[in-house]
Amino acid sequence: MNRAALLVLADGRFPAGGHAHSGGAEEAVTAGRVRDVASLEAFCRGRLHTAGLVAAGLAAAAAAGYDPLLLEEAADARTAAPALRYTSRRLGRQLLRAARAAWPCAALDALATARPRGAHQPVVLGLAARCAGLTPLDAAHAATYESIGGPVTAAVRLLRLDPFDATAVLARLAPDMDHVAAEAADAAQRVQADGPAALPAASAPLLDITAEQHAVRGARLFAS
């Protein structure tokens, strides 16, 4: 047990490239679906219970020691949009670099060798948590927090939202994050026996579609 490492890993300042990504918030802002604190909260709740849950399940399974290459396939199967697969692998590659510097570990080296162009970010996150001495539930918490922390920061920049109001959105969703993380960690306990099919496979079709739209937009601040 090494709880402080979770704070290091989940810190938005952890240098793993996340600051340039909005988790779909920029496209939602452009389309007018996110325009204030209330619509940001709705966006985050939806993202948390879909993309966040899936990422948390993968991260928890990787932290539990399940084969990361099998989880790679499971992540592909759960990531329909090519733009999101690309983003996930890029962020995974960047996280891998930071994690290997922070928590040197043979398992991370092996994944970097097997996937030189990048592994899916939640898989890397879970493996990094494992190398940092964290539990599957810790990894799930990091993934859930990250799934909405990025969009909230992006919305502050894009909409000039009051940063206190925006942070209150995260605080209000904390019980939801706990619930989603627990559900993901639960599923990860079954993965050794039942295989990756035990992991959550929720989808967010609108995030998939808008990720593709965003990827071909010329003028944008965020990479995704």
Partner 1 sequence: MHLHHSDTFPDSHVHGSGTSSAAEGSGGRRRALRVGLGGPVGSGKTATVAALCRALREELSIAVVTNDIYTREDAEFLLREAVLPAERITAVRTGACPHTAIRDDISANLEAVEDLQDQLGTLDVILIESGGDNLTATFSKGLADAQIFVIDVAGGDDIPRKGGPGITSSDLLVINKTDLAPHVGADLQAMARDAEAQRGDLPTVLTAVKSPGGISPVADWIRERLAAWTAGPA
Ramachandran quadrant class, 115 (left: phi over 0; alpha: psi -120 to 50; beta: rest)? beta
Cβ-based nearer residue to partner 1, 33 or 97:
97
Q: Tell whether residue 21 is a contact of partner 1 (CB under 8 A).
A: yes
How many Cα atoms within 13 Å fall on the side-chain side of residue 110?
A: 9
Q: Tell whether residue 17 is a contact of partner 1 (CB under 8 A).
A: yes
Q: Tell whether residue 154 is a contact of partner 1 (CB under 8 A).
A: yes
Give the distance between the most distant pair of CA atoms in the chain: 48
Among positions 200-219, residues that touch partner 1 (CB under 8 A) are: 218-219
Packing angle, helices 136-159 and 3-10, rounded to 10: 30
What does the CA dihedral 220, 165, 144, 216 come to, rounded to 10 degrees? Answer: -10
- Interface region with partner 1, contact rule CB under 8 A, candidates 36-44, 91-99, 121-129, 138-146: 91-99
Candidates 101, 110, 114, 202; binder of partner 1 (CB under 8 A) is 101
Cβ-based nearer residue to partner 1, 40 or 185:
40
Please list, in sequence order, all residues whose beta carbon lies within 8 angstroms of the beta carbon of residue 178, skipping any fewer than 6 positions away: 141
DSSP state of 224: -
Q: Tell whether residue 132 is a contact of partner 1 (CB under 8 A).
A: no
Candidates 45, 85, 100, 179; binder of partner 1 (CB under 8 A) is 100
Q: Tell whether residue 85 is a contact of partner 1 (CB under 8 A).
A: no
CB 136 within 8 A of CB 13: no
Candidates 157, 170, 178, 212; binder of partner 1 (CB under 8 A) is 157
Closest approach of Cβ 19 to partner 1, in Å?
5
CA gap 5, 14 in Å, rounded: 11
Packing angle, helices 136-159 and 121-131, rounded to 10: 130
CA gap 61, 38 in Å, rounded: 33
- Interface region with partner 1, contact rule CB under 8 A, candidates 37-45, 136-144, 153-161, 198-206: 153-161
Q: Tell whether residue 16 is a contact of partner 1 (CB under 8 A).
A: yes
Cβ-based nearer residue to partner 1, 35 or 179:
35
Q: Tell whether residue 93 is a contact of partner 1 (CB under 8 A).
A: yes
Q: Which residues sit at the interface with partner 1, rule CB under 8 A?
A: 13, 15-22, 90, 93-94, 97-98, 100-101, 112, 154, 157-158, 218-223
